[in-house]
């Protein structure tokens, strides 16, 4: 363990950088289909809710797979599992390139989800093991650059490649990306002779078994609060976010490339937050970041939903990304501290709740759009996540009061 960012070992810093590349790839895989949904609907002659299966089925599998990867990472080493999961994603992406029907494409997405499910939660858990607690939120914010770039890159390239070359090229790009990143992780792990796989992946709680670990986590009052908030955050944040590009395309008549580029600014907004996270964390603390973040995101959702002029959606996407990752980074830091003795399992349960929420949100949003319209769905998501952030900030205050010696 380290006491400051200046004393983090060089091998650990390189590991964190490579894990950032892996989280970038995983998040790109999650968001690559957002802007191509209208095109998939046209190509396969299905409705938009049917085409949205490539989003919500991915999220369901991703969430359920957490129950497997958490204890596996605690037992075998988190870095090692991330490495082989990244390489497995390249295989699933290659299958997607040659999918000749929507059902086959969904199956290919399932294969990718099975691998991608390991990457982000086990990377966060590895960092939780390797970095001192006082440096954790700042380090997670820096690593979050990979995640935020993945969101923006996935939406931008998904729309751009679909418009210019065809949707298969997007999955071809993902095949190459996962292959390169997986090989870099593998070479680094071998060069350090397993240090990254074991020093920050100690199976502290693995012997008690996954069921016992999970039971301890989900029966804890604070852990239940974090997991519940994660589920709703996934539904209202990631789930409804998948509809933004389709809304801009259908309601404002923008091309998929332009719609995807605008929504990609959500990721850029997240990058801006990561760039200034350190002073904001020290200035506002966890409660302040949660409240400010969801208020920004709620306002952005209302602007995207009801603006009659597409240029206004540009600053809205930037503002939304800044606010979302201000809140999400706070959630991640709390997730890594739920159960230090079984951190892989704890963070995987957090990720499972988050992405199960995403699957529910994407499915509900796609069906509600047909009934009440995309503007109302996006606005509703913004209102709910704002209330959620206020609830979490209040829960943080109660927790701090209970822990205070006074």
In percent, how much of the chain has pLDDT > 70? 86
CB 25 within 8 A of CB 181: yes
Tell me the domain boundaries of the chain. Answer: 8-197+209-399
> Tell me, which fold does domain 8-197+209-399 have in CATH?
Growth Hormone; Chain: A; (1.20.1250)
- Ranking 2-6, 186-190, 252-256 by mean pLDDT, the lowest is 2-6
The mean pLDDT of 43-65, rounded to a whole number, is 81
As a whole number, mean pLDDT of residues 129-147 equals: 69
Between 131 and 44, the higher pLDDT residue: 44
State the pLDDT at residue 257.
76
**Does residue 365 or residue 202 have the better pLDDT?**
365
The per-residue pLDDT for 177 is: 94
Q: Is residue 405 very low, low, confident or very high in pLDDT (cuts 50, 70, 90)? A: low
Token output for 186? 């593998």
Task: Report, as an integer, the average pLDDT of 173-195.
Answer: 84
Q: What is the dihedral of CA 59, 62, 63, 65, to 10 degrees?
A: 160
The distance in angstroms from the start CA to the end CA of the chain is 30
Task: Report pLDDT digits (tens) over 82-130.
Answer: 999 999 999 999 998 998 888 899 899 999 999 998 898 888 888 877 6
pLDDT tops 60 at residue 201: no
Backbone angles phi, psi at 3, to 5 degrees: -115, 0
Average the pLDDT over 227-250 and give the result.
Answer: 83
Question: Higher-confidence residue: 12 or 206?
Answer: 12
The answer on pLDDT for 203 being more than 50 is: no
> 209: which DSSP letter?
-
Cα 322 from Cα 276, distance rounded (Å): 10
Average pLDDT, the chain: 80
Q: Phi/psi at 261 (nearest 5 deg)?
A: -65, -40
Residue 135 pLDDT class (50, 70, 90 cuts): low
Contact at 8 Å (CB) between 381 and 365? Answer: yes
* pLDDT of res. 193: 54
The average pLDDT across 357-381 equals 83
pLDDT for the residue 200: 47
CA distance 115 to 377: 31
Q: What span, in angstroms and rounded, lies between the C-alpha atoms of 198 and 281?
A: 30
pTM (global) more than 0.85: no
3-state class percentages of the chain: helix first, strand second, coil last, to nearest 5:
85, 0, 15
Each residue's pLDDT tens digit, 243-253: 787 888 888 88
Residue 149: closest CA among 309, 327, 24, 301 = 24
Q: Which of 50-59, 194-203, 265-274, 299-308 has the lowest average pLDDT?
A: 194-203
For tokens 């709680």, what's the residue?
Answer: 205
Share of the chain above pLDDT 90, in %: 19
């Amino acid at each position: 363990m380290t006491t400051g960012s200046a004393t983090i070992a060089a091998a650990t810093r390189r590991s964190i950088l490579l894990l950032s590349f892996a989280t970038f790839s995983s998040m790109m895989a999650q968001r690559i289909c957002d802007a191509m949904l209208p095109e998939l609907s046209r190509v396969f002659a299905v409705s938009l809710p049917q085409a949205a299966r490539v989003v919500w089925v991915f999220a369901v599998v991703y969430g359920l797979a957490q129950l497997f990867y958490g204890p596996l990472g605690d037992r075998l080493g988190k870095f090692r599992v991330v490495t082989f999961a990244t390489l497995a994603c390249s295989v699933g992406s290659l299958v997607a390139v040659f999918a000749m029907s929507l059902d086959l494409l969904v199956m290919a997405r399932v294969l990718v989800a099975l691998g991608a499910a390991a990457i982000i939660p086990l990377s966060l858990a590895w960092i939780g093991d390797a970095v001192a607690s006082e440096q954790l939120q700042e380090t997670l914010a820096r690593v979050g650059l990979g995640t935020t770039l993945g969101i923006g890159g996935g939406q931008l390239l998904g729309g751009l490649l679909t418009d210019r070359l065809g949707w298969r090229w997007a999955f071809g790009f993902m095949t190459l990306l996962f292959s390169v990143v997986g090989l870099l992780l593998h070479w680094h792990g071998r060069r350090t002779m397993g240090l990254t796989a074991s020093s920050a992946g100690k199976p502290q709680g693995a012997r008690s078994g996954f069921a016992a670990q999970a039971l301890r986590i989900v029966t804890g009052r604070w852990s239940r609060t974090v997991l519940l908030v994660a589920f709703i955050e996934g539904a209202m944040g990631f789930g409804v976010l998948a509809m933004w590009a389709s809304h801009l395309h259908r309601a404002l008549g923008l091309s998929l490339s332009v719609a995807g580029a605008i929504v990609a600014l959500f990721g850029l907004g997240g990058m801006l937050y990561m760039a200034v996270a350190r002073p904001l964390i020290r200035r506002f603390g966890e409660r302040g970041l949660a409240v400010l973040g969801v208020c920004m995101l709620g306002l952005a959702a209302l602007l995207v939903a009801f603006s009659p002029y597409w240029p206004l959606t540009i600053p809205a996407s930037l503002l939304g990304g800044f606010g979302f990752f201000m809140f999400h980074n706070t959630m991640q830091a709390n997730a890594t501290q739920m159960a230090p003795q079984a951190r892989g399992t704890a963070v995987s349960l957090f990720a499972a709740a988050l992405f199960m929420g995403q699957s529910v949100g994407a499915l509900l949003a796609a069906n509600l759009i047909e009934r009440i319209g995309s503007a109302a769905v996006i606005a509703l998501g913004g209102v709910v996540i704002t209330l959620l952030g206020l609830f979490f900030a209040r829960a943080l205050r109660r927790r701090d009061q209970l822990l205070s010696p006074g």
